[in-house]
Amino acid sequence: MTLRYALFAVLSLWAPAALCAIGEGPLDDMEQQEVELVREEGEWRRWTLVPMFSYSAFNKGRESWQEESMDIYYQPVKTFVAGGGVDVLNRPPSGTDILYSAMASWYPWSFLELHGEISLCPDADFSPNQIYRGGFQYQAMPRLGLLFDYDQLNFTGGDISQVRPGISYWFNDATFLTLRYARGWAFGDLDYNYYSAALNLGDMPGGGRLTLGFAYGTDPDIEFGTNTTSLSNAYIYTLFYNQPVTRDLNVFAGLQYVYRLDEDDTAELYQQLTPTIGLIWKF
């Protein structure tokens, strides 16, 4: 639903064989840009600041959306990260929502990472009033990671919950594939499925990373011109590139395309194109 949910889901504290789940799901909109808080030898940067901006254009006369977010992470030790963030989502004609979030990621052992997140939206027009997330990444084998997440979204008109198991397989120290399946339950009487895959290609020119993603399944969405959440199937394609500029500064840009079907899966509801830009600054 916002850029930053996917951001925190890919936090990685150690390298090179880190478990970098992209964390995409029906409520993440597949923005998969990574923030790698790498477990470095010797001194490391304790603070990471991540501003981002996205703009969504639609066909069929729908008004454009935009989102700005600012996240800050603090890493007091190499095995723990805590952070907070603010998202400003402008979605006419429904209005503007501001989400405030807190999150943490912890490695009790080198092979296990635990993470959690809480987000609150006072006076929500179209966003959940509260979002609770939690999960883990477990390194089952040297190149195989097992992933699991649970999400709870509380809307004024009802709740959505989902479980998201997955796997990450590393072909080498820089390239890996992540597969996810989501099973969700919405508003007490609906259930849905969602499938996604992302290929992360490291060692690009200049140390860049290219992420290619695809997802299909039921994707909760706000009905155009209302504050009602609906369920409909969507095809989602993403392309992101992360480029280091200096040791402590990365810039990234991405593009997401959504082809959404109506609730009967018989016709196009709309198409959406979302470019995203941002930077990652460690200090």
Q: Tens digit of pLDDT for each residue in 5-58?
A: 444 444 333 222 222 222 333 334 333 344 454 444 456 789 999 999 999 999
Q: Look at residue 24 in the predicted model and tell me its pLDDT.
A: 37
Q: How far apart are CA 19 and CA 95, in angstroms?
A: 37
- pLDDT tens digits for range 110-149: 999 999 999 999 989 888 999 999 999 999 999 999 999 9
Q: How far apart are CA 207 and CA 36, in angstroms?
A: 13
**Cβ 48 vs Cβ 73: under 8 Å:** yes
Average pLDDT of the segment spanning 186-195: 85
Biggest CA–CA distance in the chain, Å, is: 57
Q: Look at residue 42 in the predicted model and tell me its pLDDT.
A: 54
How is residue 180 written in tokens?
């996810």
Q: How far apart are CA 40 and CA 44, in angstroms?
A: 6
Q: Look at residue 25 in the predicted model and tell me its pLDDT.
A: 38
pTM, to two decimals: 0.85
Query: What backbone torsions phi and psi does residue 23 show, to the nearest 5 degrees?
Result: 70, 20
Q: How far apart are CA 226 and CA 86, in angstroms?
A: 24
Q: How far apart are CA 173 and CA 282, in angstroms?
A: 22
The percent of residues above 90 in pLDDT, for the chain, comes to 61
Answer whether residue 236 shows pLDDT above 60: yes
Q: How many CB atoms lie within 10 A of CB 36?
A: 20
Q: How far apart are CA 185 and CA 232, in angstroms?
A: 13
Give the domain 3-282 fold: Porin (2.40.160)
Q: How far apart are CA 227 and CA 234, in angstroms?
A: 20
Q: How far apart are CA 105 and CA 3, in angstroms?
A: 18
Q: Look at residue 27 in the predicted model and tell me its pLDDT.
A: 37
Distances (CA, A) of 247 to 18, 31, 244, 282: 19, 24, 7, 8
| Residues in contact with 124: Cβ distance below 8 Å, sequence separation at least 6, in sequence order | 97, 155, 156
Answer whether residue 224 shows pLDDT above 90: no
